[in-house]
Amino acid sequence: MNVIDRFINYVKYDTQSDDESINIPSTEKQIIFAEKIVQELKKIGIKDAEADQYGYVMAEIPSNIEKKVPVVGFIAHLDTSPEMSGKDVKPQFVQNYDGKDIILNREKNIVLSSKESPELKKYTGNTLITTDGTTLLGADDKAGIAEIITAAEYLLNHPEISHGTIKIGFTPDEEIGHGADKFDVEKFGADIAYTIDGGSIGEIEYENFNAAAANIIVKGKNIHPGYAYNKMINSIYIANEFICMLPENETPEKTFGYEGFFHLISVVGGVEETKLKYIIRDFDLKKFNIRKEKMIEITEKLNKKYGEGTINIEIIDQYFNMKEKIEQVKYVVDIAIEAMQQCNITPIVTPIRGGTDGARLSFMGLPTPNIFTGGENFHGRYEYIPTFSLEKAVELIVKISQLYSNSIKEN
């Protein structure tokens, strides 16, 4: 099966994760998809493919050379973002794209704007796969899964291409920060790995945000408004005060490059109680810690003003910048860049303004930079992917596997 057909088949599976769930995986539908993937891996000739109780899929392609070379892994994730529905995805093909706006859904007047997505212009003349405007597409990261499995099938069907042992891994719940929670690095058995989970063709990333989540509960006191004088405490107002005490220009929509931010992702509440959910991001560890301290400082100030216990804050570290781990084995980036050049792909080394499973895996002893899938506008109705990017990612995975056959494993 070619990578395009495989991708179209995969996006029909709803695998949206749930950040409110305490289960692993967070949704049962990820297990269903994991089992489907295992069946497909076995169908292409990988006998040891298996999914565990948590939905982690692992498989191996044995080496076809005699010398010892590094064992390389390729990893992608099963889930799609909780930010938008991944149910009943209806992919659409835009043939010979003309560089103009794309009408995704005429009935609902949903348009993929070339002005708002200027990168569309570079895909003029190519075939794009888009949504119908009512769901996300799921290229993040079903494109990565399709690319890895298609590359694996190609290697199995072409034994003349030399390669060492290749490990394949698919994880649940990456989108909610839990993709590496139950990942057994020792069982996986790779020396190094790549997540196939990036954006535009050519991207390779080995720097990412340090990341934390902040959960804030503001307590108020509800009194009949007619008798509220000097009695009512409106938690919504205090929550708003908290929000306004953070730097107004340090938000996702006002930062870029290596700049960090505070991102308010949810506000739920009433007079009696208001809950705020933030994510905190920064590339620089020192600045990252200062951001966390800033939120604690605001909490303390408002508790002093309104009374101890008015605000409770919980800050949870999620992942850290993998750069320090990857730089110790920089050859993993160098080989990927060389492979891109041999595949006539222009390498784009860029920091991830986000995170991948690879960030946590790198700190768990498995150095794992991130490589493109080819998709754009992830997590929403305007997501799309060029078909040639899917095909090029397959070619790249095969080439990386081949290049490692020329290296010598360090003891």
Which among 147, 174, 191, 383 is annotated as catalytic? 174
Pair 93, 51 in one domain:
yes
Pair 306, 364 in one domain:
no
Full strand arrangement of the beta sheet holding 128-130: 92-94, 128-130, 384-386
Q: Could you give the CA distance from residue 411 to residue 409 in angstroms, rounded to a whole number? A: 6
Contact 216, 276 (CB under 8 A): yes
3-class secondary-structure state, position 76: strand
**What pLDDT was estimated at residue 410?**
53
3-class secondary-structure state, position 60: strand
**What pLDDT was estimated at residue 409?**
63
**What pLDDT was estimated at residue 408?**
64
Domain boundary among 302, 319, 336: 319
For residue 79, give the DSSP letter: -
Pair 241, 189 in one domain:
no
Residue 34 burial (10 A CB sphere; 0-12, 13-18, 19+): buried
* Pair of tokens at residue 193: 């790995």
Pair 217, 194 in one domain:
no
**What pLDDT was estimated at residue 411?**
45
At position 97, the amino acid (one-letter code) is: Y
| Residue ranges making up the domain that contains 195 | 3-208+321-404
Cα distance between the two ends of the chain: 38
360-391 b/e with 16+ CB inside 10 Å = b? Answer: bbbbbebbbbbbbbbbbbbeebbbbbbbbbbb
Pair 255, 171 in one domain:
no
Pair 313, 349 in one domain:
no
Q: For the chain, 411 residues long, give each residue's pLDDT as a single digit of tens.
A: 899 999 999 999 999 999 889 999 999 999 999 999 999 999 999 999 999 999 999 999 999 999 999 999 999 999 999 999 999 999 999 999 999 999 999 999 999 999 999 999 999 999 999 999 999 999 999 999 999 999 999 999 999 999 999 999 999 999 998 999 999 999 999 999 999 999 999 999 999 999 999 999 999 999 999 999 999 999 999 999 999 999 999 999 999 999 999 999 999 999 999 999 999 999 999 999 999 999 999 999 999 999 999 999 999 998 899 999 999 999 999 999 999 999 999 999 999 888 889 999 999 999 999 999 999 999 999 999 999 999 999 999 999 999 999 876 654
Domain boundary among 279, 302, 319: 319
**What pLDDT was estimated at residue 212?**
94
Pair 247, 388 in one domain:
no
Which among 14, 60, 79, 203 is annotated as catalytic? 79
Pair 396, 300 in one domain:
no
Pair 55, 202 in one domain:
yes
Told to judge if 174 belongs to the known catalytic residues of this protein, a careful annotator would answer yes
3-class secondary-structure state, position 402: helix
H-run or E-run covering 332: helix 331-342
Q: Could you give the CA distance from residue 343 to residue 334 in angstroms, rounded to a whole number? A: 14
Residue 76: how many CA atoms within 13 Å on its side-chain side? 25
Does 267 map to a domain?
Answer: yes
Does 335 map to a domain?
Answer: yes
Cis peptide before 141 (omega within 30 of 0): yes
Q: Could you give the CA distance from residue 411 to residue 408 in angstroms, rounded to a whole number? A: 9
| Rounded alpha-carbon distances, angstroms, from residue 58 to 12, 170, 197, 259, 366 | 22, 7, 17, 36, 15
Strands 273-282 and 210-219: antiparallel
